Amino acid sequence: MTELLLRLPFLRFDSNVRRSVGHNAIANIAIQALTIVASVIVSRHLGPAGRGELAAIQILAMQLCSLGTLGLPSACIYYAAKLENRAESVFGTTWISLGILAGPVWLIGWFLLPVLLGPTKNHLIGPARLFLLLVPIQFLGNLPYYYLQGVKAFRDWNLVRLQFPILWLIAIAWLYLQRELTPSRLAVAYLYVMTAHCATWMIVVWRRKTRPFTVDRHLIPPLAKYALPSILSVLPNELNVRLDQLLMASMLPSSDLGYYAIAVTASGAGWPLFKAIAQTMLPVLASETNVEKRQAMFRSAIKKTIVLSVVVCSLMTIGVPILLLVFFGDGFKSSIPMAVILVWAAAITNVNTVFADGFRGRHRPSVPLLAEISGLLVTIPGLIFALPRWHGIGAAAVSFASYAATALVYGALSGSLWREAKNNDGNGKA
C-alpha cells in the first residue's frame, strides 16, 4: 500500500529514494501499531492518574537522552553518509564522546528531579531516579541507530527498530499476567527492554563493520561544529514538543498529564510516512554531490509532505475521536478535544521535521536552530498563560501555534536559501 501511495503522480520520488522511503514507512507503521497496542493496554489498566505517573517517571530521563547528547547523533548521521570511507572512525569518535557525556548528564538529572516533580509527587522521585539509568544505557548503546541510518543500511536499521516495540509489548504482557502492571514496575521493565535493544544495535554494527572502529581526533572539530547548531536547534524543538508535559508533571494532577499523554499518542498515529521521508532525506542529501539534484529532491520532499499532511490529518480529525473511545475507553473521553487540536499540530510538525532533516542533510544545521527558536518564543509565554487556565486544551493550542510559527520561519528561510543556491549553482555551492 505504501509503495502504491508513493507512485501517485504528485508523490513520485527517485526510484532509490522511493524504495528507502517505502521500507522506512512500512517499518514505521508496524512500530506505531505495536506502540499504540502497548499504550492501550497500559492506559486501560492504569487509568488517567496511573498513566500520568508513568509519564512523570519517564519524561526527564527521555528528555536528557535527547538533549544531553549535544547533537552528536545528528553529526554521526551526516558524516557517516558524507565520509563513507571513514564511517567507522566517525562512529568510534562519536561513541567515545557520548560515553564521556553520559555521567555528567545523569548527575544533572539526579538533582533536577525533585525540582521537576515538586512536593506533590515525592513518591515518584525514587522510581524516576532509577529510570535515569536510561541515560548511560542509551548514550552508550543507541548510537548504531543513527550510524546505520547515515550509511543508508536501511534493511538492518528497520529490522532492529522493530525489535523494541515487540520486546516492550512482551514485557507489558508479562507484568499483566503477574499482576504487577504498575508505573514503577513498567519503568523498570522499560530499562531491561532498552538494554536488550541497545545490545542488539551494537551487535549488528559490530558484525557489519569492514574496518576497525577507531577514534580520530581530526574528526572532533567537524563533528562539534555540526553538532553545536544541531543541539541548539534540538533544544528549542524538544522544549516545543515536551515543555508542556514537563510543566504539567510539575503543576497539574497526574490525571491531567495522563489525558494529555494519550492525546499525544492518538494524534501521532499518522506520522509513519512523514517520518520515513525525513529519515531518508538527511543521509541521501548528505551523500548527494550534484547540487541541482540535491535541491530538486529537497523541494520535492517538502511539497509531498505538505500534500500528505493535509490529506491524512483531515481523515484523522474524523477518525481519532472514534478510535480513542473504542481503544482507550470512556475513561479517556477528556482526551478527545486535545487530540483533535494536536492532530493538526502534528500536520505542521510533520512538515517541520522534513524541513529540519533536509537542511541538516545540506549541512545547514543553523536553519533549524532559527526556526525552532521562533517556535519557542511562542511556547514559553503561551504555556505560562494557557496551562493554568485551560490545562491540556491550552497546552494543545499552544503547541499548534508554536509549530505554525516554526513552519513560517522555515518557509521564509528556505525561499531565501533556494534563491541563494540557484545563484551559486555555477560555483558548486549549496
Whether 430 is covered by a domain: the verdict is: no
Q: Is 2 a residue whose pLDDT tops 60?
A: no
Whether 124 is covered by a domain: the verdict is: yes
**Single-letter residue type at 217:** R
pLDDT in tens, 127-168: 999 999 999 999 999 999 888 888 888 888 888 999 999 999
Q: Give every CB contact of residue 136 below 8 A, 6+ residues apart in sequence.
A: 102, 103, 106
Any long-range contacts for 17-23 (C-beta under 8 Å, 24+ apart)? 17/280, 17/284, 17/297, 20/152, 20/154, 20/280, 20/284, 21/273, 21/276, 21/277, 21/280, 22/276, 23/154, 23/155, 23/158
Q: Give every CB contact of residue 312 below 8 A, 6+ residues apart in sequence.
A: 270, 273, 347
For the beta carbon of residue 40, count every other beta carbon within 10 angstroms: 18
Whether 366 is covered by a domain: the verdict is: yes
- Say how many Å lie between the first and final Cα of the chain, rounded: 35
The separation between CA 394 and the C-alpha centre of its own chain, rounded to angstroms, equals 23
Whether 232 is covered by a domain: the verdict is: yes
Whether 49 is covered by a domain: the verdict is: yes
Whether 429 is covered by a domain: the verdict is: no
Q: How many domains does the chain have?
A: 1
pLDDT in tens, 241-271: 666 666 776 677 777 777 777 777 777 766 6
Lowest mean pLDDT among 82-96, 171-185, 227-241, 328-342: 227-241
pLDDT in tens, 99-138: 999 999 999 999 988 888 877 778 888 899 999 999 999 9
Model's pTM, two decimal places?
Answer: 0.70
Range of the domain at 361: 2-424
